[in-house]
Amino acid sequence: MPKLSVVIITHNEEKRIRPTLESVKWCDEIIVVDSCSTDKTVDICQEYNHCQVYTQPFLGFGLQKRFAVEKATNDWILSVDADEVMTDALQKEIKTLMSKPTIPYSGFYLPITLVFMNRVFKYGSENKKLHLRLFNRNACNFNDKNLHETVEATGTTSKLENEILHYSYIDIEQYFHKFNNYTTAYAKDNLHKGKKTNVFAAVLKFKFYFFKLYFVRLNFLNGYPGVVWSLFSSFYILVKKAKLYEKNHSKSIS
């Protein structure tokens, strides 16, 4: 029967990593690649007997996750972020899959659902959003994108039914810390690619995107957290374009 390695990248995740590890401790191996945490992240990981921790300064999301895959000893890889928790139903589903002598697919898409402001998003585009997270590394691996990395697959893929819960933000303060880092990374990447931005178009897109998220994608059914998520996500579009505009007009800032 195939064995399964879990790969996780971390940086200062002491407040969230334990539920993640608890939800994958049944797997054959846990590989954690830590980018020089200054809190107790590594200590918590080392409490788990079959967890191997490697220190690697951050290479960008894609390359960091590829590094983690390289450290695994098994061909089948389950990639989980440090703020994600496998539901009991998904754990059971994967155990059943891995108990088969052969698996006729190169990878599986897993549904991931956002938990924001203590609310599980049962509606909208953040409900059971599919990501390729369970895969055979002989046919699949992460690309080298610095931001918004994905697993690229050869061969056929399928999907599982049960979900991962994504506790992406501890609070709104942390949301805007990530928000600032991600919008800056977008501006830097696109500046180096020579891309420009139209501020007027970005403002229009902000309004359009909020309408789409809140009404068309049904985030109004997620209550007050759905309003906040729709506004923040739309504002993200505007800010990343504004930062790119700023860099295009002051290239000494990089």
How many angstroms from the chain centroid is the CA of residue 126?
A: 12
Look at residue 51 and tell me if it is in a domain.
yes
Clarify whether residues 143 and 18 are in a common domain: yes
pLDDT for 44 equals 98
pLDDT for 253 equals 44
Last residue of a domain, one of 147, 166, 185: 166
pTM (whole model) above 0.75: yes
Give how many domains the chain has, as a whole number: 2
Given a contact cutoff of 8 angstroms between Cβ atoms, the answer to whether 202 and 241 are in contact is yes
Last residue of a domain, one of 115, 131, 166: 166
Clarify whether residues 178 and 133 are in a common domain: no
Q: Which amino acid would we find at residue 147?
A: L
Token pair of 249, please? 């007009």
Range of the domain at 27: 4-166
Q: Which amino acid would we find at residue 65?
A: K
Query: CA-CA-CA-CA torsion for 237, 243, 245, 250, nearest 10 degrees?
Result: 180
The whole-angstrom separation of Cα 40 and Cα 43 is 5
Look at residue 253 and tell me if it is in a domain.
no
Given a contact cutoff of 8 angstroms between Cβ atoms, the answer to whether 58 and 34 are in contact is no
Please provide the DSSP assignment of the chain as one string: ---EEEEEEESS-TTTHHHHHHHHTTSSEEEEEE---SSSHHHHHTTSTTEEEEE-----HHHHHHHHHHH-SSSEEEE--TTEEE-HHHHHHHHHHHTSS--S-SEEEEEEEEEETTEE--SSTTSSEEEEEEEETTTEEE---SSS--EEE-S-EEE-SS-EEE---SSHHHHHHHHHHHHHHHHHHHHHTT----HHHHHHHHHHHHHIIIIIT-GGGGHHHHHHHHHHHHHHHHHHHHHHHHHHT-TT--
- Pairing mode, strands 29-34 and 4-10: parallel
Clarify whether residues 38 and 118 are in a common domain: yes
pLDDT for 251 equals 53
The whole-angstrom separation of Cα 149 and Cα 134 is 15
* Local confidence pLDDT in tens for the 254 residues of the chain: 899 999 999 999 999 999 999 999 999 999 999 999 999 999 999 999 999 999 999 999 999 999 999 999 999 999 999 999 999 999 999 999 999 999 999 999 999 999 999 999 999 999 999 999 999 999 999 999 988 899 999 999 999 999 999 998 989 999 999 899 999 988 988 888 888 887 788 888 899 999 999 999 999 999 999 999 999 999 999 999 999 999 888 855 44
Look at residue 36 and tell me if it is in a domain.
yes
pLDDT for 254 equals 45
